[in-house]
Structures are given as structure tokens and as C-alpha cells.
């Protein structure tokens, strides 16, 4: 994969079931209030460590509020060498509205 792919919630669920990592790029307060179960919070402060420790071959789904900022972040991760990066269409807002049972609080 030379570029990231925008995916819907159904595809994201499939990838998560297969072991994809979810990287939530929203602000820390929003992440703490609720996030996709098992998502990691990815920020400027944690980005370096994430890149150093992550499996570049494993799929990563980037999640923001509405699915727009995640596209830039997904493109950045592709540039850093990640092979399979996805941006979640509709972001966390749509995920939470559609799949509230798959959300967690910190």
C-alpha cells in the first residue's frame, strides 16, 4: 500500500477483529471521555515512541473526530514507513453513534 485508504465502520470492525491497531488522534480530554475499545492515544508527545515501537507491517486505523484530520495523519504514517494505514470515515463521532458498545472510557 503506497497510500492510505479511507474505510467505513464495517471494514474497520473487520480489520480490528484481525488485529489492526486503532490510533486516536483527538485531544486527550476527548480520548479520556470515550474512545474505540483498545485504541491508543496518538499525539505529538507520543508520536516518536509510537513510530519507534510499532510494527510497521501491522495495519493501523487512524481515528479523529469526523474523519478529516485522520487523513493527514494517515498520510504522515505512510510517509514514515507504515505499510497498511487507514482513515476511519466519519471518525469517532460516527463510530460512537453506530457502535456505542465498542467504546471505552480511560
Active site residues: 64
Euclidean distance between CA atoms 106 and 103, whole angstroms: 10
CB 33, CB 105: distance < 8 Å: yes
CB 95, CB 88: distance < 8 Å: yes
Amino acid at each position: 500500500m503506497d497510500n492510505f485508504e479511507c474505510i467505513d465502520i464495517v471494514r474497520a470492525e473487520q480489520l480490528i477483529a484481525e488485529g489492526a491497531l486503532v490510533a486516536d488522534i483527538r485531544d486527550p480530554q476527548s480520548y479520556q471521555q470515550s474512545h474505540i475499545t483498545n485504541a491508543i492515544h496518538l499525539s505529538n508527545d507520543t508520536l516518536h515512541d509510537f513510530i519507534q515501537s510499532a510494527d510497521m507491517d501491522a495495519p493501523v486505523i487512524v481515528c479523529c473526530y469526523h474523519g478529516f484530520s485522520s487523513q493527514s495523519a494517515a498520510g504522515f504514517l505512510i510517509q514514515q514507513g507504515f505499510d497498511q494505514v487507514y482513515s476511519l470515515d466519519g471518525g469517532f463521532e460516527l463510530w460512537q453513534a453506530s457502535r456505542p458498545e465498542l467504546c471505552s472510557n480511560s
